[in-house]
Structure 1
Amino acid sequence: MELNSLKDAVDRVAKKQKLSCSKTQEVTDQLIQEIEKAIDMMRSTTVDYKSILTELKKKLHEIAPLSQLEGTQKELNIALSKYQKAVDKAFNPDISKAYRNIEFDSHTVNQIIASHFYRQGLFDVGDCFITDAGGAEATASMRPLFQEMYQILEAMKNRNLEPALKWATTNSNKLKENGSDLLPRLHHLQFVKILQKGSRDEALKYARTNFASFAGSHMAEIQKLMGCLLYSDRLQQSPYAHLLSPTNWDTVAEELTRQFCNILGQSSESPLSVTIAAGVQALPPLLKFMTVMAGKKQEWQSMKQLPVPVELDKEFQFHSIFVCPVSKEQSTDDNPPMLMLCGHVLCKQSINKMSKNGSKTFKCPYCPSDINATQCRQLNF
């Protein structure tokens, strides 16, 4: 609700600002029009300049620019004032209640930070950080690899596909293992690029040279590209005009980034960025909880799990969560999900409780099978 009210406040400010700009432009145009009329009169007649300027002064006084702008500016200031109050209400600058100090391995943290800089293409910053922080020298070996990736992406921005094609060809086997169609998509872009230059024969020669190995799995795409040959001189007005969209380059660049990182054994997204983004989502409910639990800070410091459910978007959900159907509790490292011989799953503590710590068999809650606790195996999602 707080975020919704903040969005409404932002929308109001944007609306008032737009009205204020529009009114300012309108008044400015009126002033310019009257001034230009006076200048034209001075140029075309022999009337006394003093009388023309006097009339101009009268017209400008009638327009009353300050009076016209005062109302819209006042409304904008009121909206800005309310927006500031909404920001202060929605965002608590003191987040210390929602976190606790945990000892981290500084070496690992330094590696994560240095890797983040390299992932963002901030190579000089990453080098400086490694030099100053120390303990992240191993990450420096990733620098030339990410540098190669950014050189390829920079070339693609300049519509040069040669570096990308060279890399994808070299790693074609790994790309196939990952189920990626990056290489044929790069060839498709190159074909369209050649055809855009009006060279139909060159485009056809390129297709014969590079499309044969993909014919079995990408025939539909290849047929569309062959249809483009009929419109080589007017591709923009053809049924295949969508193939010229810059979006096609952006999606291929994203796929290249994903596969490049995948082959390096890295995630395509920076772990530091993902952690911070997830933390931003989790922070508001934790702050609310700690406001309610203000008198029980010591309990919060000793908790092993989050005291309240924190809903994160799907892009932040990397592991399945198992809830024991008997105890109704989520599994943990100390209480993992256990696979029984019948195929059903319970948490370890529930199995120990039902089997009297493995001293007797028990009935599965879902089927009539007799379960021996010693034969249950830990299940890893």
Structure 2
Amino acid sequence: MELTSLKDSFERVAKKQKVSYSKTHEVTDLIGQEIEKAIEMVQSSTLEYKSELAELKKKLQKVAPLSQLEGTQKELNIALSKYPKALEKVLNPDISKAYRNVEFDSRIVNQIVASHFYRQGLFEVGDCFIAEARDVEAAVTMKSLFQELYQILEAMKSWNLEPALKWATANSDKLKENGSDLQLRLHHLQFLKILQKGSRDEALKYARTNFVSFAGSHMAEIQKLMGCLLYSDRLHESPYAHLLSPTNWDTVTEELTRQFCNLLGQSYESPLSVTVAAGIKGLPPLLKFMTVMVGKKHEWQTMKQLPVPVELDKEFQFHSIFVCPVSKEQSTDDNPPMLLSCGHVLCKQSINKMSKNGSKSFKCPYCPNDINSTQCRQLIF
């Protein structure tokens, strides 16, 4: 609700700004037209120019630009003055309450930052950062690896698939192990590129050379491409026109980047970007919690887990998480999930409490079975 109100405030400011902008242009154009008319009259008339200027002055006074602009500008200023207050109300400028002081290895942090720059193709920025930070050799290795990727991507922006095809061919076995059809998709784009040039024979020759090895598992797709040969001179008007969409290039580019990172043992998304994005998601509930817990900051500093649940989207979930149905606490290395003999799962600390540290059996909270704690086995997700 708070973000919705903030969005509404922003839209009000934007609307007032557009009205003010339009009114300013309208008045300015009107003034310009009157001045141009006066100049034409002066140039074409033998009368004294002072009379023309006097007439122009009367017309400009009638237009009254300042009074016309005053109203819209006043409304814009009011909206602008209210917006910072709405920002301060929704977005707490002091986030120091929601984080704790943690000692980080500056060398590792520098490597993460430098690697992020190289992953984004910001090689000059990364070099500058390394020159300032020093002692980040691991990040330099990342530079050489990702330079190859960005050379391929730059070539694809110019509709040149040769570097991409060369890389995919060299890594075809690994791509197959990963279940990726990237190599075929690159050949797909190259085939259409040749066909668009009007060379049907050359396109057919290319298909015979490069599609044979994929016929067993991708025959339907290859048949569609062969159907394109019938419309080589009017492919944009054919039933296969959708194959020419630029989004196909974007999809293949994304898949190439993903597979390139995968073969390097790197994640597709920059770890630094993911960390920052997750922090942004988790910040609002933590700020609300700390506003309530102002007098208990010391407790927050010593907690091993977040004091409030933070709902993150699926893209931030990288491993299985188990929450004990009894204690409602998330499992940890010290409090792992345990499989009961009846098949239900509880955390170790809950089992210890219910069994009095293993001194007696207890009833499973989800079925009538009696459980012997010594028969419980740790689960590893």
Q: TM-score under structure 2 normalisation?
A: 0.91
- 1:151 Cα deviation from its structure 2 partner: 0.8
SS state of the match for residue 239, structure 2?
coil
Alignment partners' CA distance in 2, 1:239 and 1:38: 61
Alignment partners' CA distance in 1, 2:171 and 2:206: 21
- The equivalent residue for 2:287 is 287
93-102 vs 106-115, greater mean Cα deviation: 106-115
Alignment partners' CA distance in 2, 1:43 and 1:204: 71
Alignment partners' CA distance in 1, 2:294 and 2:193: 63
SS state of the match for residue 58, structure 1?
helix
127-136 vs 73-82, greater mean Cα deviation: 127-136
For residue 268 of structure 2, what is the amino acid of its counterpart? S
Change (3 A) 1:157 1:33: same
- The equivalent residue for 2:66 is 66
- The equivalent residue for 2:164 is 164
SS state of the match for residue 338, structure 2?
strand
Alignment partners' CA distance in 2, 1:364 and 1:173: 50
168-177 vs 348-357, greater mean Cα deviation: 348-357
For residue 37 of structure 2, what is the amino acid of its counterpart? K
For residue 351 of structure 2, what is the amino acid of its counterpart? I
4+ runs deviating over 6 angstroms: none
- 1:32 Cα deviation from its structure 2 partner: 3.0
94-103 vs 104-113, greater mean Cα deviation: 104-113
1:37 aligns with 2:37: yes
309-318 vs 154-163, greater mean Cα deviation: 309-318
Alignment partners' CA distance in 1, 2:52 and 2:349: 96
- 1:362 Cα deviation from its structure 2 partner: 4.5
Change (3 A) 1:323 1:23: same
SS state of the match for residue 16, structure 2?
helix
- 1:363 Cα deviation from its structure 2 partner: 4.6
SS state of the match for residue 343, structure 1?
coil
- The equivalent residue for 1:301 is 301
Alignment partners' CA distance in 1, 2:91 and 2:368: 54
- The equivalent residue for 1:151 is 151
- 1:355 Cα deviation from its structure 2 partner: 3.7
Task: Give CA-to-partner distance per residue, 1:281-340, whole Å, 9 cap, x none.
Answer: 211211121111111111111212111111222222223321222333221221111223
- The equivalent residue for 1:6 is 6
SS state of the match for residue 127, structure 2?
helix
Alignment partners' CA distance in 1, 2:249 and 2:63: 52
The 5 A counterparts of 1:117-156 are 117-156=117-156
- 1:139 Cα deviation from its structure 2 partner: 2.8
Alignment partners' CA distance in 2, 1:99 and 1:261: 32
- 1:138 Cα deviation from its structure 2 partner: 2.4
The 5 A counterparts of 1:176-191 are 176-191=176-191
Q: CA RMSD in A?
A: 2.3
- The equivalent residue for 1:242 is 242
- The equivalent residue for 1:255 is 255
- The equivalent residue for 1:24 is 24
- 1:11 Cα deviation from its structure 2 partner: 0.8
- The equivalent residue for 2:218 is 218
Aligned residues: 381
For residue 333 of structure 1, what is the amino acid of its counterpart? D
Task: Give CA-to-partner distance per residue, 1:242-282, whole Å, 9 cap, x none.
Answer: 22222221121111111111111111111111111111121
Q: TM-score under structure 1 normalisation?
A: 0.91
Mark the runs of 5 or more structure 2 residues left unpaired by the alignment: none
1:378 aligns with 2:353: no
For residue 142 of structure 1, what is the amino acid of its counterpart? M
Alignment partners' CA distance in 1, 2:21 and 2:326: 63
Mark the runs of 5 or more structure 1 residues left unpaired by the alignment: none
- The equivalent residue for 2:100 is 100
- 1:174 Cα deviation from its structure 2 partner: 1.4
Change (3 A) 1:59 1:198: farther
- The equivalent residue for 1:113 is 113
Change (3 A) 1:30 1:224: farther
For residue 223 of structure 2, what is the amino acid of its counterpart? Q
Alignment partners' CA distance in 2, 1:29 and 1:238: 48
For residue 314 of structure 1, what is the amino acid of its counterpart? K
- 1:44 Cα deviation from its structure 2 partner: 5.4
For residue 378 of structure 1, what is the amino acid of its counterpart? Q
- 1:79 Cα deviation from its structure 2 partner: 1.4
Counting aligned pairs with the same residue, the percent is 82
Task: Give CA-to-partner distance per residue, 1:44-63, whole Å, 9 cap, x none.
Answer: 55555444443333222222
